[in-house]
Structure formats: structure tokens, C-alpha cells
Structure 1
Amino acid sequence: MPNENAGSLRVFDETIDYEVRRSEDATQPRIDVDIHGVAVVLPAESDIDPQELVEDNARWILKQWRQYQDHREQAPSRRFEPGETFLYRGDDRQIEVKDVDKSHVEPETFALAADAVEEEGIQDTLESLYRRKARLVFKSRIDHYADEMSVEPGKLELRNQRTRWASCSPQRTLSFNWRLVMAPDDVIDYVVVHELAHLREKNHTRRFWNLVQKHDPKYEEHVDWLTENSVQLIFTEDDL
């Protein structure tokens, strides 16, 4: 079995580094390309040579890799100060610091409590508000679709993973990246439906995607939106 955990691919005038991951959940080898780089995912006991796999798919990898390099260059530069705008449920809102008892979201602004900003700073206060609102939004949509899909999810966790928006554990725990609350509601709903579908179908089989489509007929548009706009859903440069 190959022991490599990284490698590089030369395509025309580009050298593309990749990492190799082995997964107990993977049933087929695959190549993941996103804004963070290239990963070859292999079933745990696979004897496939990852270098041969990337060389066989070199042109496709190069096309995807260049696309994400362009996305990276479009990443917004975030400033944590009054007047700066951040996305919330698909719309821009400006940061305002106000004499209010509790930070909250208004139709056009993030109203941050002055006392909290003085103690924690704008960045931490805004992140706390995002996380609080994200939990409420995700819980509401999970409850809605779990009933519609006749599934019983476990607990809800919020994370800030760089490489994925959500996951479903064998214990039925649903984990969501809190930054997803920056996306439009229909995109949030797609990710919720996707993870709940895993409670019925573990792998991305045809039955899985049929189930997703049943509850989100436009899911392909929402997948495309995430692919094209995920770079806009960053909080700091560390999220790239």
C-alpha cells in the first residue's frame, strides 16, 4: 500500500501540490479541488497509486485549480471597524456600535453593544453575534426539514472548518460552519437538507441525490453558488 501523504503534479507550466488522505468512509477514490488546494481521497485499504490518479486527471485538476486561484484573489479584505460591511443571510450589513443592552441584527446593520465592544473588541463581538444567530437559524431549518424528511438528527454543533460547510457524524451529530449563516437562505437550506439526507443515505449514491432533490429541487444551483461564492463567506484571512 502506498505510504505517500503528499505529492506534486506538473501540468504545462504549473506545479500543483496535493495531499493524500485515506478515509474509512470512502468507497471509491476521488480528487477534491477547492480553494485550499488539491486532495486525493482514497479508501483506507486502497492500493491505488495517487500519483497515477492525478496524472490521469491532470487537465481537469489544472482547470479546477486555476479557477480556485482566481477565487482566492477575489477574497475580500476584512476590516473590523464601524461602517465595514459583512454578509448575513445573503445581504450586506454595516457594523454599528450602539448603546444597546445586547448585540443584534437589524435590517441593514449589525448593532453591536458598545459595552461588549469595549470589553472584547469589534471582531470578537461580531463573531459572537454571528454564532448566536447561526445556531438559531440552523436549528430552525433542521427542525423544519427533519420533520419533512422523517429523520431524527442528534445534537447541533457549530464549527469553523476551513474545508467544509457541514458534516454528519455516525452519532447523528450535525456540525455546521457558523460562517454559512452569511449565505442566502436557500443555500443554507440546501446544506441542511444535504446533511439530513446522510441520516438516510450515508454515501453520495443516486438515492442520496434523489432525496436531496426531492426536498431542494434547485440544489444544483445552490451547489454552484457555494462553489462560486464561498470565498465571500470568510470572516478573516485565516478562513482561506
Structure 2
Amino acid sequence: MTKAQRQEIDLLGNAVEYEVQHSSDATEPRIDVDIHGVTVVVPQGEEVQPTELLKENAVWVVDKQRNYDTYRDQVPDRTFEAGESFPFLGQDRKLVIEPRQKHGVDEDSVRLRKSAVEQSSIKQVLENFYRSRAREYLTERTDHFAEQMGVEYEKLELRNQRTRWGSCSTGGTISLNWRLIMAPADVVDYLVVHELAHLTEQNHGRDFWRLVGEYVLEYKEKAEWLEQNSAKLIFSKEDL
């Protein structure tokens, strides 16, 4: 994926900065708006006028950008020290640093090996542990639902985006955000099913949502939870 320098456009009286990315994975032009700004994603080799796409979707872009301004204010101000609480599968758990053979997590705490922290930092060791657990958990849930849904995916990739939670490429690659390991288990399952459903239904039409609903009850509530609580799935303001 190639990037261009940031540019600026006036949308509905608002100065909006954006960048253009050319992607070999993209099948159609799209606009991504996240905590870091606005990105126009264009399929490799396709000629698209980013300014026209932005103008056509001006109301949506401006609205999403305002939402992310609010989002920044909602990110927890956690500190990376023993005694702080971090979510794991939807439950806050106290961070414990102690002499032990390996990292672990139980009902009330996330326990990090003291020697590893001394060689690095609490933040880095904590993120590495979450990524490792996310790889195990998300692989298990993806395999579970792929079998139930009768679909096959090519591979599972873990991403490190702040607010984009998943995607499914035309080649069958499922991408999931490692930060999902902080969300409740039923929300994780919704995201997994959502992306696997794209192997059968490429768009978000009626058939797509019917398919999702077969495997995740009350999926709208799960999507709404993620929309309203995604800021909680950031370690701290330092992590933005």
C-alpha cells in the first residue's frame, strides 16, 4: 500500500486534512476515517479523483471526524504501572508484576513476569502479551465459526489499528485488530462472524446481515457496543 502526502480540502466549511493510499487489496474506492484522520483508499492502478469522492461524502466525513474528536476525549488515562486496571475479554483486571516463569491472566488480574519488564518496559511487555493472547484466541474463534459457517479463509492477520476492527480481502485473508482481546467475548464473536460472512456476501446487504444473524444473536447490540465503547479498547492516551 502506497501513501501520498497529506492534503487539505474544504468540506461544508470545515478544513479537512486527508491522504491518499493506493492498495492492491482494495476492490473499490473508499474513505476511511479514524483517530488519526481521513484516508482515501484507491485500488491499485485505478484512476479516482479523491476530491470528488470526499465531496460526494462530505456530510459523512465531517460527522465521522467530529465523532473521533469526541472519541479522543473518551480514551482512558491509564498509567503503565502495577495496580492499574486493563480490560481483558471485557473485564477489567489489575496489573500485577511479580517473579514468575511466564505471563498469565486470571479472573482478576493480568500477571507479567518481572524479569521481562525489567529488560523492556511495562507497556511493551503488556502489549506483547495481549498480542500473543489475541493471536491464540482469535485464531480459535475464527476456526470455530469458519467450520460452523462452512467457509474457508486463506489466513488470519492481526492488525494494529486504533479503530478499524476487521476486514476480509477478496483473496480470503481475514484481518482482525489485536485490541479486540480487550472486548467482551460476544463482541469478539460478532466481529469474527462479520468478517467471515464477507467470504459469502461481499457487501452489507440484507443477505449479509441475515447470515450474520444466523450465528450471532442480537448482533446489532454487539455492533453498537463496539461503536460506543471502542475508546475503552485503547490502553491509554499515551497509546494514541
Q: Which amino acid aligns with 1:106?
A: D
Distance 1:155 1:39, change over 3 A: closer
Match of 1:179 in 2: 179
SS at match of 2:175: strand
Shift, 1:23, TM fit: 5.0
Match of 1:117 in 2: 117
Give the RMSD, CA atoms, in angstroms: 2.8
Distance 1:201 1:56, change over 3 A: closer
Unaligned 5+ runs, structure 2: none
Q: Output the CA distance in 1 between the equivalents of 2:23 and 2:125.
A: 37
Match of 1:212 in 2: 212
Q: Output the CA distance in 2 between the equivalents of 1:236 and 1:180.
A: 15
- Indicate yes or no: 2:141 matched with 1:141: yes
Match of 2:201 in 1: 201
- Indicate yes or no: 2:76 matched with 1:76: yes
Q: How does 1:41-120 map to 2 (within 5 A)?
A: 41-42=41-42, 49-120=49-120
Q: Which amino acid aligns with 2:159?
A: R
Distance 1:116 1:142, change over 3 A: same
Using structure 1 for the length normalisation, give the TM-score: 0.82
SS at match of 1:20: strand
Q: Output the CA distance in 2 between the equivalents of 1:101 and 1:43.
A: 47
Match of 1:31 in 2: 31
SS at match of 2:133: helix
Shift, 1:182, TM fit: 0.5
Match of 2:10 in 1: 10
Distance 1:97 1:6, change over 3 A: closer
Kept in 2, the 8 Å contact 1:96–1:111? The answer is yes
Q: Output the CA distance in 2 between the equivalents of 1:196 and 1:94.
A: 33
Q: Comparing 71-80 with 25-34, which one deviates more in the overlay?
A: 25-34
SS at match of 1:96: strand
Match of 1:151 in 2: 151
Q: Comparing 141-150 with 172-181, which one deviates more in the overlay?
A: 172-181
SS at match of 1:140: helix
Match of 2:161 in 1: 161
Size of the alignment, in residue pairs?
Answer: 237
Distance 1:95 1:194, change over 3 A: same
Distance 1:119 1:54, change over 3 A: closer
Q: Which amino acid aligns with 2:60?
A: W
Q: Output the CA distance in 1 between the equivalents of 2:185 and 2:191.
A: 10
* CA shift digits 1:116-147 (9 cap, x unpaired): 22333322322232122212221221122112
Kept in 2, the 8 Å contact 1:96–1:109? The answer is yes
Match of 1:233 in 2: 233
Aligned identity (percent) is 48
* CA shift digits 1:7-28 (9 cap, x unpaired): 4333466311123345566565
Kept in 2, the 8 Å contact 1:71–1:228? The answer is no
Q: Which amino acid aligns with 1:139?
A: T
Kept in 1, the 8 Å contact 2:190–2:216? The answer is yes
Distance 1:48 1:119, change over 3 A: closer
Using structure 2 for the length normalisation, give the TM-score: 0.82
